[in-house]
Chain A
């Protein structure tokens, strides 16, 4: 935790005390883990041949 506190800039210069912002670094960590989970999930269903899938998605104009 200490290392993470050091790399997180303090948001307010005039803060009433020097308590670190406890949520910031762990939140970023959660976000990283979360995006990995999302990508794993999407990997499982994403078209395996992306190039062919994209090439094959041809539409006529509408409206």
Chain B
């Protein structure tokens, strides 16, 4: 058992024009995407998205939702030419999702790399903001998940899983973990209720927006476990678990834990390693109750009748995971897993004592320490606009304006991924997944790539009448080790296609 698996993070950014709250967010988001694309020499019509294999209405429970029954916002596979949509040389997708610019990271295999390419995405957004600032008033972007007025937008995680794992087991064993995961990974929010009608502070940006336990939707009646079954890979072998309840993180440790602990719990579910039932009573209501208690002292009810604190349930998951790693791997455990377990223990130990001791590692604690500072110094109540302003500006992507970045720059937040590493990842793809092949095609043959998607690259060969579609359905093929020499050695796209055919299409 290990934290390693194919995974990624997709983040929708909040968008606004200073002094113009009525500005059209779809047009602005298009500006963000095309501006960044232009800065990297990408013409949006060039590397656009190949929708052939997208099926957002497929449900992991085994049935399809009729298109007539779907809300228009669920129909994400309809191509709209006015919507900018590009693939970057780092293997990521940058596009307009409804009314937000979204960066979907390339596929990576470790939680740490998920943090690297997630931070790269924020630097992509920062670059777009800097370029748009040359025409005042510019456009501001925020790596957060709510406006505090009733609207929410997502930071979604994706985990590749074995198709053999029964989905019912995922639901029953993952739900309790998700109810309490926010204690380690929440980004903090001023205001209680979707429209912040009750003054106060809570652990997570997203928790108040969840209404059901299981479902297909992401924009309405949001479920704790999302059932979208769109593997973007060989469907007989894999499921892509789409997780929609997490927050966007600025703290590297919280972000690492979000991906790493979830991956570990999923590995245990795949191996059917949970021997005790940790089901939580009334999961949706409890999710919100946990978020609303920054003291972490309130207990939650388990289905077996026990009352325990959220940190105690997290400690139980930690101990089960530690035992399982020891039993399965002993001293052969990989460094990535060891790192996740180290931070998991460290953060839980802090949260079990005085939660404020976790301020270097957990977003909601870091943010709360600043807010409490203001409350004490200036005698501010939770409804004061200055506290809400701190909450929003916390996530401004600009280094000089974003409060999370200011805090990190002064050494008050633990940094696991340096700016240099994230900057490099803006252009460089992960080397150990098919993202490398996707990115390399765009880097080496930009004139030939007509479209790309998670599982294909579509190229135009000079002199040929039809486009060639190169399937990349296996996420762990198309790596630098597998096809690096072949791609780098190809003088043109025709040669690449010929070598791929000879090599028995190693990228497929």
Contacts and interface: CB of A to CB of B under 8 A. Distances in A.
User: A and B from one assembly?
Assistant: yes
Interface in B78-114: 97-100, 102
B410 A35 contact: no
Interface in A29-63: 34-39, 41-42, 45-47, 50-51, 53-63
Nearest to B152: A61
Interface in B400-446: 400-401, 403, 406-407, 410, 412
Contacts of A38: 369-370, 373, 407, 410, 412
Contact of B393 (A34, A41, A46): A46
B99 A59 contact: yes
Looking at B18, B393, B401, the one whose CB has the most chain A CB atoms below 10 A away is B393
Nearest to B403: A42
Nearest to A58: B21
Contacts of B361: none
Interface in B146-174: 146-149, 151-154, 156
Contacts of B156: 63
Looking at B12, B142, B385, the one whose CB has the most chain A CB atoms below 10 A away is B385
B154 A56 contact: no
Interface in B16-48: 16, 18-21, 25
Contacts of A45: 393, 400-401, 403, 406
B135 interface: no
Given A45-B406, A51-B385, A56-B21, A61 B153 contact: yes
Contacts, number: 113
B410 A41 contact: yes
Nearest to A62: B153
Given A35-B369, A47-B393, A51-B385, A63 B154 contact: yes
A35 B116 CA distance: 29
A30 to B, nearest CB: 12
B406 A41 contact: yes
B389 A53 contact: yes
A39 B373 contact: yes
B390 A63 contact: no
A25 B260 CA distance: 36
Interface of B: 12, 14-16, 18-21, 25, 73, 97-100, 102, 142, 146-149, 151-154, 156, 218-219, 244, 369-370, 373-374, 377, 384-386, 388-390, 392-393, 400-401, 403, 406-407, 410, 412
Interface of A: 34-39, 41-42, 45-47, 50-51, 53-63
